[in-house]
A and B are shown apart, each in its own frame.
Chain A
């Protein structure tokens, strides 16, 4: 993991002091509400339904055990004993008091954490594949580049006041698990014919009100140029992005207005005089950052040890969990374990202080003290020996983390919705729970197979409902909560935006609609077809007919 040096510490501490002073001046009436709002947002502080909502950055989803323990401590001391993992690999607290936020920041700074640019119209937390560094299909480890981008974006003097928020995702593997096609900028690794490694640069993807798949503006950017190229992209956006209408202010609207070619031409022109400048990465610079992400001290193991395979054979529940909630590892004899935060009855992504501490303990006892947060709102123990899996499973069960549903229908990606978020049209948490209850038969759930289900409480799309194979969007109909269902969305290399199947549903009818959709899928699927494949093959019509058929 990256470790702060004296300068990193100093910058974060100075930021804490700056915010402490800004808060003080606001409370003393020296800063107006309009002046303070953008300043506090840039530090992750919203004013929400119940209290301020405070968002902490987890850069590219990486956490050390001591950082997770500190989050547990903050949850207990300053909040109600739990936190919420977001779809952007961050953590949110829903109940802190404004006056105490500077103290929370100070506690975070002690463990190399902060909330810099977790909201506001600036460059947000850079996200990546939660399996970076351990995935078997990786071309490069994206984390050194993520850290380089994190530092570049942190308090960048030119880009503190953009037209709108700006999100960057980096994928280092062939299979894009970082959703690079639906970010303001996506960097997806490519290897050129001569073996040189670079990034494909994708711009203008995004969800929200105007969901759109990004456009490639450069097929190959040598890795050394990423910062100067990002400067050029951001400058074009900063200067020409719309500022008159916040719903048209994202970079995707500008890319559309200029056409992708027109936008690319402006970027290239700007880049001409930035290229090869001082911000160009030398080999030794990349090596410096890569040195923090070396492989931990793995043991030399043979895969599938007797102790593991015997348990697999004798305990069906364990075998199911291994199949569903663990991932292959590039190191023989190891696996990555996904701890499910999607237990029925618990708001998706929520985690208690006690659970955080348990995860921190396990990461030290069985792994190398590292934890990952996935954008699917689950927690990952990246390096677990196969011989330890049985014990880890039992521990995970004791803490309610072992629901074997990763990647299945009930692994619902869900925003906080109307229970917490003041922008919401509808509640998401109780509806997600009702769906989970409908599909609580594990055999049936497993038979349905991989299904991405995403849920947003309003069109801001924090739950990424557009790219769910099945998506739900909360809508407001004359002050009542209704729900629109979309089908056919997907993420990764085949990113697609889902289509609305028809009129929206009352809250109580959503699980039934799901049931009808799943029944039709089961009837129609051909040999081992996944849900999304059936939807693509037969189209939306049959689903519409089934869901909206009149009862007889």
Chain B
């Protein structure tokens, strides 16, 4: 059990993230354990994973195609996206696509190089749980959510962009 951030709270979490070793092999885990497996591994044998006693979720690498999951989204209680380096921003687009284009409603978790200065953006594009990088304090990461109290854009959290809210709140509509 370790702690993650979920919906703005520190909570303990029992999902095991399975990552392949250098030979591409996934670690062995007890069948009743809840696991988050690489999308490529799940694609290879979806029914084998689905028939385990524990729950199964998948994590997407930055170059995975979220559209391939479109028909299966309701079967996952959780999806995760990996950020191998925080400077690799592809996962933000994956988050928005899963939420906005494919209407995924379950838990969406950010894994990898995830910490205080990133959680705000991740939250905006639809992530709601965060496995904070080793060595970074969860308490610090929590502060990241409050960095900005407003934003300009249409996001999954707040589809109405600021310019529309401005025009209804502060000005009579022409």
Which A positions have Cβ atoms within 8 angstroms of B?
5, 7, 10-11, 14-15, 18, 22, 35, 38-39, 121, 148, 151-152, 154-162, 227, 235, 238-239, 243, 273, 277-279, 281-285, 287-289
Contacts and interface: CB of A to CB of B under 8 A. Distances in A.
Interface bin, chain B: 35 or more
B90 A238 contact: yes
B152 A161 contact: no
Given A156-B153, A273-B101, A278-B154, A151 B163 contact: yes
Contact of A161 (B89, B96, B164): B89
Contacts of B121: 155, 157-158, 160
A155 B152 contact: yes
B7 interface: no
B163 to A, nearest CB: 5
B34 interface: no
B147 A18 contact: yes
10 contacts: A121-B87, A152-B152, A154-B152, A158-B93, A159-B92, A273-B100, A273-B101, A278-B159, A279-B161, A289-B163
B167 interface: yes
A157 B163 contact: no
Interface in B51-110: 86-90, 92-94, 96-97, 100-101
Given A284-B167, A288-B171, A155 B151 contact: yes
A46 to B, nearest CB: 16
B170 interface: yes
Nearest to A277: B154
Contact of A158 (B96, B160, B161): B96
Contact of B164 (A18, A243, A278): A278
Contacts of A281: 163
Interface in B111-134: 115, 117, 120-122, 124-125
Interface string B126-154: 00000000000000000000011111111
A124 to B, nearest CB: 15
B162 interface: yes
A156 B149 CA distance: 14
A278 B161 contact: yes
Nearest to B158: A278
Contacts of B87: 38, 121, 161
B29 interface: no
Given A283-B174, A288-B163, A288-B171, A7 B150 contact: yes
A287 B96 CA distance: 29
Contacts of B148: 11, 14-15, 18, 155
A23 to B, nearest CB: 12
B16 to A, nearest CB: 27
Contacts of B33: none
Nearest to B143: A21
Contacts of A156: 152-153
Contacts of B147: 14, 18
A339 B100 CA distance: 49
B173 interface: yes
Given A18-B147, A151-B162, A159-B92, A5 B125 contact: no
Contacts of B173: 284
A239 B88 CA distance: 10
A168 to B, nearest CB: 15
B162 to A, nearest CB: 7
Contacts of A157: 92, 120-122, 124-125, 151, 153, 155
B60 to A, nearest CB: 12
Contact of B151 (A11, A148, A239, A243): A11
A528 B2 CA distance: 78
B147 to A, nearest CB: 5
Given A18-B147, A35-B86, 18 more contacts: A7-B162, A11-B150, A121-B87, A151-B152, A155-B151, A157-B120, A157-B122, A157-B124, A157-B155, A158-B121, A158-B125, A161-B89, A238-B89, A239-B93, A243-B90, A281-B163, A282-B167, A288-B167
B152 A285 contact: no
B166 interface: yes
A162 B89 contact: yes
Contacts of A283: 174
A157 B147 CA distance: 13
A14 B124 contact: no
Contacts of A18: 117, 147-148
B165 to A, nearest CB: 9
- Chain A to chain B: the 8 pairs with minimum beta-carbon distance, closest first: A161-B89, A157-B124, A157-B121, A279-B154, A284-B174, A151-B152, A278-B154, A278-B159
Contacts of B162: 7, 151
A7 B149 CA distance: 9
Nearest to A42: B117
A22 B149 CA distance: 18
A239 B93 CA distance: 7
Given A158-B92, A161-B87, A282-B164, A5 B149 contact: no
Given A278-B161, A284-B167, A288-B167, A161 B88 contact: yes
A152 B97 CA distance: 18
Contacts of B159: 277-278
